[in-house]
Amino acid sequence: MTDNEYSKKHIEAQLKELPRQPGVYLMKDETGMIIYVGKAKSLRSRVRSYFRKNDQTYKTRMLVKYIDDFDYIMTDTEVEAYILEANLIKKHQPKFNIRLKDDKTYPFIKVTKNVDFPRVFKTRIVKNDGAEYFGPFADVDAIYKTLDVIKDIFKLRSCKKELKADQPEERPCLNFHIDKCLGPCIGAVGKEDYHELIDQVCLFLSGRQKELKQQVEEKMKEAAAERNFEKAARFRDALQAFEKLSESQKVMTDKNIDQDVVALVQSEEDTACAQMLLVRNGRLIGQEYFILQGTEEESKAETMASFLQQYYEQAAGIPDELLLNTEINYQDLLAERLADIKGKKVSIQYPQKGDKKKMLQMAERNAEQNLKKEDIRSKYEEKRTSGAVEKLGEILGMKNDPYHIEGFDISNIQGTDSVASMVVFKNGRPSKQDYRRFKIKTVEGPDDFSSMKEVVERRYARLLREDKKLPDLILIDGGKGQLSAAYEILELLGIEDLPIIGLAKREEEIFKPGESKPITLPHHTPTLQLLQRVRDEAHRFAVSYHRKLRSRRLTHSMLDEIPGVGETRRNALLQHFGSLAKIREAKIWQLKEVDGISGKTARKIYDYLRDNMRAY
């Protein structure tokens, strides 16, 4: 039975066992890479629909062509599936999903309110750690400008020290002496006064300047009445700064309401722009825009719904009203999820006239302009990479320019869980659907040369056997040793004329087979940068796969050691929580919610992981 026949039989068997519960399904290609994530009210009917010979879009037909396997996660409700789908799309960035461009993690402003003297700073990681987060922001410059204003007005600390209210230091830093910091490190400002300022910062970041101004005015009068003129002067200066800031913010409505105005504009290609205007307390305080990819053949309703789903699962704040320029799919699910996060109902509207319609039109104009900018940038990048490809062919003396490059790397730690990666770049850009991952099968111990031989032989022997097109160029991560090992296999396969090079990390030298002297290029040249991108992407892909296998091995090993936890319970735990780290964080009552886990077993799991986790 061929691999393809086996895959079809396997899928057919899985389809018969699909449950009728809601959940999320994950479509995978032959390498195990997740290429599509979807949600379903009924997993059985939704997943089966992909394999019926009915009227499907071109995109769906292409997806089904690549499906080699699928997995699914059952949930209790459709809303839970909706949340999980957004998180999995963000994590895996599947090729066939609508997705935020480049897998960016957008920055937030973090306020560490859970310490004696909180800090306010930029971060791209949001945790459930007691801090407050504001964002996300598409424009990093806007964050830095906001932080500068906060520092000027409130004179908060910028150091990363862990300060305790009852443990003042002897000397302050320079910022205190130049009146840029209130000096909490030496006790020059008390914990309560400092937290008052932090509360004002949070109002400021929420866009509630009117509320904040009232508070600051009251504090100024109180300080003056207490004859604390230095403190009163600080509040006076803050009020003046707020006045200037308010003048620069456009009043959008006379209602003290928070709104997100979202306009979606699609290009003729496979991209779209979601433009957001952020209205807080009736004032326009900023804008963000997001480029979406994979939107070809998708309706505006589907594209908008997918964007809002991904955006609000990572957003730190939810508005009172959501104004959209196109109706969306799954509106009830979105409304339920937003209400759950905010704690009260969120209004979703499609204005057709009046001031709200004018705001949407302004957002649309900005979206159109941002799409034009993206198109110009993409064309410039395409021209730049195309030029680099042609120049590379010239430097290497190739007959044909290397439009199709395959890059290899090996990853292991002391010989365990050895893996290899192969990445593909076409016309200077990653072609992720063509990436491949390999478990090393014939090599024991940390032998990168032999591992490289194995993976190169497996890759190109298969291409020759299936009579498929060979790449224009092979790039090996490493110097002469790794290159010689790979070239030896090409000779055995009779394709020694296939261009192959090695790129050594230390000096970024390019090696060719049979030539002792390397080729060196200036570091700023697009040609070398192209090779570095291929090499670095192969390294990233190999390391991520190695970590995944190692984590899986350690997870299974640790769970198998717990008395009373066999394969069935281990799989149930992993399916319920997703990872060993989440299982370890779970409380006993949460462990008891897993099928097959009694109260007694939950206690054993809880105690064992806390007593033994440090060893891992």
204 and 126 part of one domain: yes
Mean pLDDT of the chain: 81
Residue 556 covered by a domain? no
User: Is residue 556 predicted with pLDDT exceeding 60?
Assistant: no
Q: What is the CATH number of the domain that holds 352?
A: 3.30.420
**Among 418, 476, 486, 421, which Cα is nearest to 446's?**
418
572 and 531 part of one domain: no
114 and 87 part of one domain: no
In order, the DSSP letters of 199-237 are HHHHHHHTT-HHHHHHHHHHHHHHHHHTT-HHHHHHHHH
Cβ atoms < 10 Å from Cβ of 446: 14
Residue 377 covered by a domain? no
Q: What is the pLDDT of residue 123?
A: 86
Residue 387 covered by a domain? no
Phi, psi of 344 (to 5 degrees): -160, 170
Q: What is the pLDDT of residue 611?
A: 67
Residue 202 covered by a domain? yes
Selection from 156-160, 209-213, 605-609 with the highest mean pLDDT: 156-160
Per-residue pLDDT, averaged over 418-436, amounts to 87
472 and 418 part of one domain: yes
Domains identified in the chain, total number: 5
Which residue is associated with the tokens 């006993």? 588
Q: What is the pLDDT of residue 133?
A: 84
User: Is residue 111 predicted with pLDDT exceeding 60?
Assistant: yes
Q: Are 73 and 52 spatial neighbours (Cβ–Cβ below 8 Å)?
A: no
Q: What is the CATH number of the domain that holds 90?
A: 3.40.1440.10
User: Is residue 492 predicted with pLDDT exceeding 90?
Assistant: yes
CA distance 136 to 121: 13
426 and 484 part of one domain: yes
Residue 380 covered by a domain? no
510 and 602 part of one domain: no
Q: What is the CATH number of the domain that holds 571?
A: 1.10.150.20
Residue 394 covered by a domain? no
First to last CA, the chain: 41
**Coil, strand or helix: which one is 13?**
helix
Q: What is the pLDDT of residue 6?
A: 54
| pLDDT tens profile 279-326 | 877 777 667 888 887 777 678 888 898 889 888 877 767 889 999 999
Which residue is associated with the tokens 């800031």? 245
Instruction: Name which of 75-84, 210-219, 487-496 the model is least confident about.
Output: 210-219
Q: What is the CATH number of the domain that holds 482?
A: 3.30.420.340
Residue 49 covered by a domain? yes
Phi, psi of 324 (to 5 degrees): -120, 150
354 and 466 part of one domain: no
91 and 116 part of one domain: no
Q: Which domain holds residue 608?
A: 561-615
Which residue is associated with the tokens 């997740």? 34
Q: Give the end of a domain, one of 248, 282, 298.
A: 248
Q: What is the pLDDT of residue 499?
A: 94
| pLDDT tens profile 241-289 | 666 555 444 445 556 788 899 999 988 767 888 988 888 777 776 678 8
In this structure, what token pair is assigned to residue 410? 């090996």
User: Is residue 142 predicted with pLDDT exceeding 80?
Assistant: no
In this structure, what token pair is assigned to residue 6? 């086996």
307 and 426 part of one domain: no
User: Is residue 613 predicted with pLDDT exceeding 60?
Assistant: no
85 and 168 part of one domain: no
Residue 465 covered by a domain? yes
Angle between helices 191-205 and 140-154 in degrees, nearest 10: 140
363 and 473 part of one domain: no
519 and 415 part of one domain: yes
Q: Give the end of a domain, one of 372, 390, 413.
A: 372
| pLDDT tens profile 436-480 | 888 888 887 778 889 899 999 999 999 999 888 999 999 999 888
The strand pair at 473-477 and 500-504 is best described as parallel
Q: Give the end of a domain, one of 97, 120, 153.
A: 97
Q: What is the pLDDT of residue 1?
A: 47
User: Is residue 164 predicted with pLDDT exceeding 80?
Assistant: yes
